[in-house]
Amino acid sequence: MALEDVPRRLIEFLDKYKTYFVIGHKEPDGDCLGSQLVMASFLGRRGKEAFLFSAGPFDRKEIRHHEGRFAKRIPPELKDIPAGVIVLDCAALERIGDLAQDIGGREIAVIDHHPSGDPFFGDIRYLVTSAPCVTLLVQKIIEACGGEPTREEAHLIFSGFSTDTGFFRHLENEAEDVLRMLSRLAGKGITPKRIYRETHGSYSRESRAFIADALKTMEIFHGGRLIFVHELLEHARRFQGEHRQTDTVYQLLLATEGCEALAFIREEAEGKTAVSLRSQDAIDVGRICRDFGGGGHKNAAGFTTPLPFAEIRAALIEYFKKTFAPIQAGNQPKKENP
């Protein structure tokens, strides 16, 4: 499956202004910041002025060194100049944090790959849910404008891809188009080995202990198809920020024989529990999380709830009973839920 072509209106929008505000989502990751940095770099090469904004925080080790290039709010001296707004890696106003208060009345282009988002956000929308990352959509834009990424841009694009795909692991049927695009990046002299080490290496020793602690809480349901791990308020909060290596916990658990989905349930405060869901293949945890008031991708999503651990745990076990039921029914053609 090929990634959708860049809308003509977006290309015109990128020509229209002299100045652009390039905004990403709060709690940024390598794909979000990479998309922003490449977009700003490309605009700069085209004689435009680009300002970078992110609500932060810059917790992840692989992005921290970029923090100095991003402002948290649009400063008063920029408030009255004409500028186009480009929002990357999210399609909902609330995802950009307090910056949402700074962009009223401006023309906004939204470039994203998340299936959940506000369908009315943005004047120009380039949304490709089959795209594994947004940096590749920015590469598409550069190429649609007749250009090609510089070596530095290529490195950032590949880093964003590496972040969002767990270094190729989550690539699906869009792989053919994506691998062709990556091969053009490789032609710029970037090396997958170096990018793997940057995005998936040099973790803290504490993060290894976090993985062990999380795995010790493992519970198995529905014949092994569902796995839970948890972190309760009463557990000592030894691990914060980069030491909470949840991605590795997900990867290890999803590789368990028979496992189709997992939940990491974390009591964050009295009356606030955060749930992250991950799944393989057919199980759409994005839909499940939307039912609980959250959002995300088909195989990676989350939500927060006022319910305490015991209640949300029970609710999820029950919910997954329904999720698994039609598959367990095997060759019975009749479905319970249309």
Binding site for Mn ion (CB under 5 A): 31, 89, 134, 164
Cis peptide before 57 (omega within 30 of 0): yes
* Minimum distance, C-beta of residue 289 to Mn ion, in the bound complex (Å): 16
Minimum Å distance from CB 186 to Mn ion? Answer: 21
User: Which one, 89 or 267, has the nearer CB to Mn ion?
Assistant: 89
| Least gap, CB of 36 to Mn ion (angstroms) | 11
Which of residues 116 and 273 has its CB atom nearest to Mn ion in the complex? 116
CB of 223 to Mn ion, least distance (A): 33
For the bound state, the minimum distance from the C-beta of residue 29 to Mn ion, rounded and expressed in Å, comes to 7
C-beta of 149 vs 296, nearer to Mn ion: 296
CA distance readout (Å), 120 to 57, 116, 123, 241, 264: 27, 12, 8, 33, 31
Residue 12 neighbours by CB distance under 10 Å: 10
Contact 163, 29 (CB under 8 A): yes
Nearer to Mn ion, 31 or 231 (CB): 31
Q: Which is nearer to Mn ion, 166 or 308 (CB)?
A: 166
User: Which residue of the chain is nearest Mn ion when measured via CB?
Assistant: 31
- Closest distance of CB 198 from Mn ion, Å: 17
Closest distance of CB 295 from Mn ion, Å: 13
Query: Helical H runs in the chain?
Result: 8-16, 30-45, 134-144, 151-165, 175-186, 192-200, 205-216, 246-254, 285-291, 309-328
Cα angle value 6/199/49 (rounded, 5°): 45
The rounded distance, in Å, linking the Cα atoms of 195 and 150 is 16
CB-nearer residue toward Mn ion: 17 or 302: 302
Give the contacts of 129 (CB within 8 A, at least 6 positions apart): 113, 114, 115
CB 211 within 8 A of CB 245: yes
Q: Which is nearer to Mn ion, 23 or 134 (CB)?
A: 134
Task: Return the closest-CA partner of residue 145 out of 42, 47, 4.
Answer: 42
Q: Of the candidates 296, 271, 272, 266, which has an alpha carbon nearest to the alpha carbon of residue 284?
A: 296
Q: How far is the CB of 113 from Mn ion (least distance, A)?
A: 6
Which residue's CB is nearer to Mn ion, number 31 or number 62? 31
Spacing of C-alpha 88 from chain mean position: 11
CA-atom Rg of the chain in angstroms: 21
